[in-house]
Amino acid sequence: MKTISRRYRVHAVSSLFAGALLAGLVAVGVMTGDHPTTAQAQQGTNAMAVDAVPGGGVDSSRTVTGSGTFDVDVLITGAPTSYAGYGSKLEFDPSILAADSHSYLAGAVFDLCAAGTIGAGSVKSGCALSGGTTTFTGATDRIAFRCIANGVSLLRLVPPADAISNTTTLGPGGTTVPTALADAQITCGDGAGPAPTPSGASPTPTPLGPAPTPVGPAATPTPLPPGLEAVPLVAGCNPVASTYPDGTPIQTIADRVGPAGNLVSLWMFELGTWQAFSPQFPQVSDLTEADLLDVVFACVGGPGDFVRPVV
C-alpha cells in the first residue's frame, strides 16, 4: 500500500486497468471532439469541472496576488450514468502558473489510483474501482498552484478526443462514458503581464540648441616621433596587433591608448582562455604582458587611438 494523500490510502493502478484506461480513452467514437457544457449532464451525460476556489460550490474563476501556493480541485459534478473510474488531464499556461503538487481526495471511493503526474503545463491523474460502479460526485483531485508571472491562465480539462489519457468518466473495462467538462480561469496579479516594448517608434530628440561658436583655430595634432604610428579606435572593443617586442608589460600597452582615461580594458585570447587587464584594477588583472604581433582587444569608452611602433 502506498500513501497518496494525507486522507486516504489507495493501491497503485494495475497494468490491466491501465491498459483498459488507455484503450477506452482512444475510443473517441464514444465522445466527440466537442467540449460540452455541464448543462448536458441533465440529459444523461456525466460531468466534471475545475473548482478554482475549493469548497462552497464550483467557482469558474479566481484572482490571485502574490507568489504563495493556492489549491484548485477537479470534481465529478454529475453522474446520472454509473461509472467505474475516471481519467483527468488539466492543462495550464506554464508561463503564468507552476504546479507544485497533486493529491487524491476520493480515496475512500476509488481503490485503484495511478500516480498523479505533473508535466510541462499539465497534470494527469486517474482512479478506478477494483469492482463494480459508482455514482459518486465530489472532489477527486487537488493541485497546488502558484503564480510565477502576472497574466491569465485557463485551467482546461482536456477531453479524450484530443489525445489518449485525458478527461472522462469510464465504464467497466475502461470504455468512455460521455462526460461534460467545465474549465476555470486564474488571473495572477492584475493579469496585465509586462508592458510591451514599443517597436518602430523613435524617441523624440531633445533640442540641443545652436552649435558653439569656435573661439580660436582648431588645435593641431602633435606629430608622432619617427617610427611610431597611431591606429584609430572607435568606442567599443577594437582588435589591434601589438608591434612591441616580446614580453612588453601590459601596462606599457595600456599607456599607449589615448586619450588619457579612455581605456576601459584590454583583452587577449591566450591558450584557449580570455585574459584581461583593467587600468582601474591592475592588481587583479591576469593579462600581464604581450608579445610581438599579439592581437589585443582595446576596449575604449570613445574614439581614440593606439600608438605602436611601425614595422
Per-residue pLDDT tens over the stretch 201-257: 444 444 455 555 555 555 556 788 899 999 999 998 999 999 999 999 999 999 999
- pLDDT of amino acid 6: 33
- Is residue 175 domain-shared with residue 300, that is, in the same domain? no
| 197 in a structural domain | no
Of 256, 301, 298, 248, the C-alpha closest to 277 is 298
d(CA 147, CA 185): 13
Domain holding 277, by residue range, is 228-309
pLDDT, tens digit, for every residue of 167-211? 899 888 677 889 999 999 999 998 776 544 444 444 444 445 555
The whole-chain average pLDDT of the chain stands at 79
Indicate the pTM of the whole model. Answer: 0.53
- Is residue 181 domain-shared with residue 273, that is, in the same domain? no
Residue type at 95? Answer: S
- Is residue 86 domain-shared with residue 9, that is, in the same domain? yes
CATH number at residue 74: 2.60.40.680
d(CA 15, CA 22): 11
- Is residue 163 domain-shared with residue 237, that is, in the same domain? no
| 204 in a structural domain | no
Mean pLDDT of 142-167: 86
| 130 in a structural domain | yes
Is-contact 112 78, C-beta < 8 A?
no
| 154 in a structural domain | yes
- Is residue 139 domain-shared with residue 288, that is, in the same domain? no
- Is residue 177 domain-shared with residue 255, that is, in the same domain? no
- pLDDT of amino acid 211: 52
- Is residue 272 domain-shared with residue 132, that is, in the same domain? no
At residue 19, does pLDDT exceed 80? no
At residue 62, does pLDDT exceed 70? yes
**What is the number of domains present in the chain?**
2
| 210 in a structural domain | no
Q: Are strands 9-12 and 112-113 parallel, antiparallel or unpaired?
A: parallel
Is-contact 170 86, C-beta < 8 A?
yes
